[in-house]
Structure 1
Amino acid sequence: MTDVVTGEAVVVEVRIAQLPSRALALLIDMTVQFVTLFGVSQLIGILAWNADEALVVMLYIAFTVSVLVGYPVVFETLSRGRSLGKLALGLRVVSDDGGPERFRQALFRGLSGMVEFWMLGGAPALIGSLISEKGKRLGDVFAGTVVIAERSPRQYGPPLEMPPPLAAWAATLELSRLPEGVAATARQYLMRWHDLSPAVQHEMGVRIATEMSAFVSPPPPSGVPPFAYLTAVLAERRRRDQVRLAQRIGAPPPDPRFQAPSQAPYQPYPQPPAPPPAPYGPPFAPPTQAPQPPRPPQVPQAPPTTTPGGFVPPA
């Protein structure tokens, strides 16, 4: 599986690591640390045979702390969240926001791991992993990290549908320079789009779309969101692959959707629709003025009658 790191964020097909996988990775790491400690202690004993006893004890303590704390901190910082055990089982430590693990977070995890595993036998880590919804131990809680599994079955989901307003523009794209890694990054981002927060959706979308635009021409029309731009490019790339495969085997395209769209002028990308009105009309608003009392009905009066001389008799 392709491991893609874009800027400050990691975009991978991930799932929360299960407890058995994390336990096996921890066992591998602790075995490496124990073997390293044993070898270093033997070397110190040989080299400091006639040295001062206090110096020997100080060296033992210094190397023990360096191996127990420095091993996970150095490996996870340099490899972006992977130790030897996690690398063997396809696990990675990432930040809660999906970004790569930083040195400060690795240091928090290393210091807490020395207490959780080497001093208390792993009981706090086990209890915390069982209680937490994401399987976090105390070091992950304090550091703001989570352990994820990268080696999962490749699931591409349903095919990406071409946005209708961008179909004519996508038919003119030059896609021969688009690297597979950039396309895989965009595909993984679109698959996980609904699982990201709005801020991360926009930030990662702009970053990936900017990177893709360096290999794709012509540029997109103005006002196109990053999500729609990436969807149109990948959908057009897939359509051309389908057409090329059909021509190679001498068969017609399997679906009329793979036919090239007509060169119609670009239509602006539609804005999101307005929210629907309330099901029972507008909400009730209390009157601002006091209601007036009803007026009594007026009885119609008969028109006055006149005499032949024009005299009107009194009522």
Structure 2
Amino acid sequence: MSELVTGEAVALELRPAKLPSRALAVLLDLAVAVVAYIVVTIAVVAATASLDEAAQAALSVALFVLLLVGGPIAVETLSHGRSLGKLACGLRVVRDDGGPIRFRHALVRGLIGVIEILLTLGVIAVIASLVSARGRRLGDVFAGTLVVRERVPEGRTGFVPPPPPWLAGRFSALDLSAVPDGLWLEVRQYLTRMRSLDPQVGWGMAQRLAAELAARTGAPVPPGVPPAPYLAAVLHERQTREARRAFAAAPPAGDRPSAAPGAMPPPMPQAAAPYRPEPSEPYRPVPQDPPPVEDRSGSRPSTGFVPPA
């Protein structure tokens, strides 16, 4: 895995392409370019049979430069580093900082590729890739590019194991400001690959990284704590601090009230009193008129009025 660190101190986990996959991608690109060159040359020669030999030779050179040199440059520029061969092999050309390439990168790679691939049958490119630590040929060195693997198997993706529960929060008082990014990257890479390492080799790497981390933080490794859980706990503490710093809830500057220097803070608003219903009056029956007195002599009830004499 390539240890690329951008200008923002962000570590990029890129896997440089190996020589066999790069050679296969170049052969596929050359096969497509040669077939296109032959087809176009036959068509042009048939169309320009009336021209003299000098004109036909000039057209052949122009077609060679256009298809075998300009074609790959145009394809890599338009596809951002993915030619047909690289697309088939799962490769891609990127800048040293991990960004997509531009025309100038593809131009330098294409022009130098004519010398180290076409004219020398790839001998210079193979030697340069074997000597380089990241498998770069001369065109990549001068252009500032790198060929990386774009398709990574799912089972090989890095997974950092969490620390054991009995170490959670134990290193919250450590000073991690003096630990460089390179050491954090080494710790993370070890934790992601420690299951596939030899036990003795992995134990030695864990002890070395734990000693370096303890020297940077100024606090020794607690007694009885193995180096691998110690590394996982400290890395988890760093990630927790970064997440807390990134997602800390703070009101925007425009929403904060501005106060004059030395002024007293405004009084806190009083909370509204809870609603209490007023006590209701006791129930009092409404007085009603007495029922009419029934007249025994007649069938109609008395109205209370005395008839005139």
Q: TM-score, normalised by structure 1?
A: 0.48
Larger RCO (CA within 8 A; separation ≥ 6): 1
Q: Which has the larger radius of gyration?
A: 2
Q: TM-score, normalised to structure 2's length?
A: 0.49
